[in-house]
């Protein structure tokens, strides 16, 4: 990436005299410890400036500036291994590890990845994007090193939001009970946030750690009154404080798991961080350091609106985020949000469930209007799905609002707990298909393949906003498991409507009657396919249902057309098009089928438009594929336009 550097994007050494000297952590280690506070201040200012230009994950990085500097200063990275959970917080890490002058390209095509990525840098030890994997990965690294007799250190940094997932506790339990003990440091970065507010019992436990005003006031007041630590009253209070702390601090929980617990300490206090980490670096076995930080630290608007500043578009740091004027087309998430409230008004048994994605999945309004029927289960996708299954056994109508990429984490529960028992659960799957700038970890490119093969499932994909609403109502009314998958971002501009009408199960819609070739389009690919079909005089079908497919229509089309072309924003392997080919084969119908969809590869981060074009499923790509297979269609189109 260094070759892409242009002089005008080089760092301003007059404004950032220390940061300008840091290309790698080796450069950072040349500074005196007393200067690290100033390095952190420059890094914070540079991060605010660069994300202001590019957009990207923001508040989380500001919260770990001091921690990032301290870790790279004290540990010999990349020899020592740092594993960051999720990776929202790693822009400061990327700036200190050779990507300072490219950080403004984050999330852009051929730019810096928004999450740690092994192929991007040797300092990115483990590729992440989904939460709660860091302790498992770091433990695996520590075990592998110890087996080789390698003394290098391994550190996992995990947030309190990510700590709510079962996987984190599975790893803690394993690490704490091992013989020989693994040499592992887990840093719990506690800012009382995930992407939404952190929820659940663990949050309450962690909150007690430093949230007790009484404890803090007594401690501070005691220091003033008692002065010298060596006198008897002071010693008594210190002992009493330790007992008191035991009631409030989660040390007991982690100690019981087999970890040596330290903390909580102020994660913005550089001297405290450095001295504590030095002590921990020298000690063996599994250790947990609990640091308290503020998400958005050092940038007042972000501290005041941690959710709003979690991920941002480009903005002016002096003005903060400014609401964009003009009327924007509703997103599919907005359509779901409105539908959920309307459906809840008509159906008292409806409950909405989200794994810590209230804002992203469009549940804000529902959570306010129906607080008793709203369940945020924290980062616990598996639990979310089985919770819904439990509700459904008692006549409930649960709706699980979840991103396609996160549903992957609960696949066993979808199969085992919902589908096998044929339970009445509706999956509202957001960010399906091409997602774009967040890269492969957040792509929703597999869901049609992994849902289609599950017995009892009904799977739908809308072509526009109105259809999205109808499909959600159809799924809610259907007595078994159903899924509606819809894309990120704005819809087509079609009014969604306000009613709760349904669609006939498994029936497609012929959009254009043409000849020779039938274009079978699924979900968000319909508008592009329709435009191409009209131009070339072909039949275009909005398939609507991936499962069950409209068998009668497909067999009827096969009689009148010489070939089919399927178009979907899902991988071709095992996707909706595969279902069409299977149906035709089972019905002994021999027709050529061309499958257009996403590649058998993990797409990199780029805009949604770029990725659709690369995959050949935008209008230009669909047209090119048709003419490559049937060049004479171009002549047919000329005849049509001349006749028109």
- Dist CA 206 CA 176 (whole Å): 19
Selected catalytic residue, list 99, 107, 295, 488: 295
287 is catalytic: no
Cβ contact 148:161 at 8 Å:
no
Exposed, middle or buried, 449 (CB in 10 Å: 0-12/13-18/19+)? buried
- Dist CA 363 CA 359 (whole Å): 6
- Tell me which H or E stretch contains 265: strand 260-266
- Tell me which H or E stretch contains 539: strand 539-542
179 is catalytic: no
Task: Give the CA distances from residue 336 to residues 318, 406, 467, in Å, rounded to whole numbers and listed in that order.
Answer: 35, 18, 11
Q: What is the DSSP string of 290-333?
A: EEE--TTTT-HHHHH-TTTTSEE-S-BTTTB-----SPPPPBHH
Cβ contact 135:171 at 8 Å:
yes
Selected catalytic residue, list 42, 381, 530, 568: 381
Cross-strand pairs, 402: 429
109 is catalytic: no
The residue with tokens 């409230």 is: 341
Task: Give the CA distances from residue 155 to residues 17, 139, 233, 279, in Å, rounded to whole numbers and listed in that order.
Answer: 29, 9, 39, 14
Selected catalytic residue, list 409, 452, 488, 511: 409
Task: Give the CA distances from residue 357 to residues 114, 320, 402, 415, 538, in Å, rounded to whole numbers and listed in that order.
Answer: 19, 23, 8, 22, 41
- Dist CA 524 CA 615 (whole Å): 14
DSSP 8-state assignment for residue 453: T
Per-residue burial over 149-187, b = 16 or more CB atoms within 10 Å of its CB, e = otherwise? eeebbbbbbbbbbbbbbebbbebbebbbebeebbbbbbb
Q: Which residues are catalytic?
A: 295, 381, 409
């Amino acid at each position: 990436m260094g070759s892409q550097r242009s002089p005008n994007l080089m760092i301003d050494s007059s404004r950032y005299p220390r940061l300008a000297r840091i290309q790698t952590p080796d450069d950072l280690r040349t500074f005196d410890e007393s200067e690290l506070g100033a390095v952190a201040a420059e890094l914070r200012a540079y991060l605010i400036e660069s994300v202001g230009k590019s957009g990207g994950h923001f508040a989380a990085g500001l919260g770990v500036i001091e921690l990032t500097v301290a870790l790279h200063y004290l540990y010999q990275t990349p020899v020592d291994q740092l594993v960051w959970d999720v990776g929202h917080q790693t822009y400061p890490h990327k700036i200190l590890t050779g990507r300072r002058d490219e950080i403004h390209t984050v999330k852009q095509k051929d730019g810096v990845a928004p999450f740690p990525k092994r192929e991007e840098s040797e300092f990115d030890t483990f590729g992440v994007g989904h939460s709660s994997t860091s302790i498992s990965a770091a433990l695996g690294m520590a075990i592998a090193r110890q087996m080789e007799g390698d003394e290098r250190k391994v550190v996992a940094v995990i947030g309190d939001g990510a700590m709510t997932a079962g996987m984190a506790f599975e790893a803690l339990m394993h690490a704490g009970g091992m013989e020989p003990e693994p040499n592992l440091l887990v840093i719990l970065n506690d800012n009382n946030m995930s992407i939404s507010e952190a929820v659940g019992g663990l949050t309450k436990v962690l909150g007690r750690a430093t949230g007790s005003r009484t404890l803090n006031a007594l401690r501070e007041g005691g220091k003033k009154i008692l002065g010298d630590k060596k006198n008897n009253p002071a010693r008594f209070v210190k002992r009493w404080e330790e007992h008191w702390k035991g009631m409030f601090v989660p040390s007991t929980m982690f100690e019981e798991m087999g970890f040596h617990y330290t903390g909580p300490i102020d994660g913005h206090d550089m001297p405290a961080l450095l001295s504590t980490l030095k002590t921990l670096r020298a000690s063996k076995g599994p250790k947990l350091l609990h640091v308290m930080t503020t998400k958005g630290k050092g940038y007042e608007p972000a501290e005041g609106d941690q959710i709003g500043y979690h991920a941002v578009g480009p903005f002016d740091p002096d003005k903060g985020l400014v609401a964009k004027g003009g009327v924007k087309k509703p997103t599919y998430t907005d359509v779901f949000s409105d539908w959920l409230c309307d459906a809840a008004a008509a159906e008292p048994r409806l409950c909405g469930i989200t794994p810590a994605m209230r804002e992203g999945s469009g549940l804000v309004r529902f959570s306010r209007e129906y607080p008793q029927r709203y369940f945020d289960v924290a980062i616990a996708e598996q639990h979310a799905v089985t919770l819904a299954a439990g509700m459904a056994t008692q006549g409930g109508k649960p709706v699980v609002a979840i991103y396609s990429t996160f549903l992957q984490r609960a696949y066993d529960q979808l199969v085992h707990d919902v589908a096998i028992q044929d339970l009445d659960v509706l999956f509202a799957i957001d960010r399906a298909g091409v997602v774009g700038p967040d890269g492969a970890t957040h792509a929703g490119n597999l869901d049609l393949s992994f849902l289609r093969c599950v017995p009892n499932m009904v799977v739908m994909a809308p072509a526009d906003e109105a259809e999205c609403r109808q499909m959600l109502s159809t799924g809610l009314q259907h007595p078994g498991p159903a899924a509606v998958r819809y894309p990120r971002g704005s819809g087509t501009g079609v009014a969604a409507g306000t009613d709760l009408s349904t669609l006939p199960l498994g029936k497609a819609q012929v959009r254009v009657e043409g000849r020779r070739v039938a274009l079978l389009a699924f979900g968000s690919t319909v508008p592009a396919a329709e435009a191409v079909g009209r131009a070339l005089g072909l039949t275009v079908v909005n398939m609507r249902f991936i499962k069950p497919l409209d068998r009668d229509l497909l067999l009827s089309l096969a009689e009148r057309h010489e070939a089919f072309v399927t178009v979907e924003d899902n991988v071709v392997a095992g996707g909706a098009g595969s279902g069409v080919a299977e149906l035709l084969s089972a019905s002994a119908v021999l027709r050529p089928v061309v499958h257009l969809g996403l590649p058998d590869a993990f797409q990199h981060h780029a805009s949604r438009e770029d990725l659709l074009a690369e995959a050949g499923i935008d209008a230009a790509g669909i047209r090119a594929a048709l003419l490559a297979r049937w060049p004479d269609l171009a002549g047919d189109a000329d005849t049509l336009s001349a006749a028109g």
